[in-house]
Amino acid sequence: MNNPPLFEELSVGVLNDTDLERILCKTQEWIDPDSTLHIYPFHEMSLTPTGYDLRAGNEWTSLRDEKRYTVADSGSVLIRSGDTVWINSLELVRMPKNKRLMGMIVSTVWNVRKGLSHVSTNVDPDWIDGKLQIVLHNHSRRDIEMPVGAYLCTLMLFKTATAATRSWRRPQGRDDTPKIVFTPPEPARRKKLIMEIGLVLFAVAVVCVAALFFYDKPFIIPITTLTLFAVALVLQHLNINNKQR
């Protein structure tokens, strides 16, 4: 495949903002798909010396709820404490069809400072359609709202010496992701339910024993009940902390 001079003139390796400007297609229509990187809608402030800062779209999926949500363009994505979410990028990204460009998605400092972490993922050389899905986890103790259009992560791009020969093995658009991920194993749910029922029965048994042996001391019953309630709160707090780690 013959590549236009602009692409060929770029050195192999990481591309900076100057390099990207030479191969970017910023219009809705993808012009010269064989050798241009298509990003739309393009945001000038997102172009950085190290790549392009992708923005949050209005579609996201919660691992905790096992549901996909859509919010208005003026709305926000809700990332609850301890939850992991998949957020669709606002931009549509298409890699050049010459398969000599690949990407890596890395975290941004301003999101890390809020308590959000992102596992580094890649963009394959043959990715030509579909918005990218960015996975974030909220490690903080508070819920975080991310407005649509807010910066999510940085897309770094690399030019390779030769074209990739293998193809990406899943459909464009990542519609398969929720079907694969959001099916929690039934044994785990059953085990959790059994533990909760066991704790309730244990609490009832303790109160009954206290009532049987200390019937002449009425204050024992409320004290025992309050103690069990406090223990339950502590166990719930420890369970929440474990989920956030």
Eight-class DSSP state of 143: -
Reported in sequence order, the residue ranges of 4-150 that DSSP labels E, i.e. its strands, are 13-14, 24-25, 37-40, 47-48, 51-62, 67-70, 76-79, 84-94, 101-106, 116-118, 121-123, 131-138, 144-147
Is there a contact between 120 and 162 (Cβ–Cβ < 8 Å)? no
pLDDT in the model for residue 120: 85
At 108, give phi and psi (nearest 5°). Answer: -110, 150
User: Which of 94-108, 130-144, 167-181 bottoms out in mean pLDDT, i.e. has the lowest?
Assistant: 167-181
pLDDT in the model for residue 102: 96
Does pTM top 0.85 for this prediction? no
- Average the pLDDT over 50-66 and give the result: 94
Q: What fold, for 5-181?
A: Deoxyuridine 5'-Triphosphate Nucleotidohydrolase; Chain A (2.70.40)
For residues 23 and 37, what is the distance between their CA atoms, to the nearest angstrom? 6
For residues 105 and 100, what is the distance between their CA atoms, to the nearest angstrom? 17
Query: Helix crossing, 220-244 with 186-213: angle to 10°?
Result: 160
pLDDT per position as a tens digit, 132-170? 999 999 999 999 999 999 999 999 999 999 999 988 666
Q: Which residue has the higher pLDDT, 152 or 171?
A: 152
Closest CA to 170 of 185, 181, 186: 181
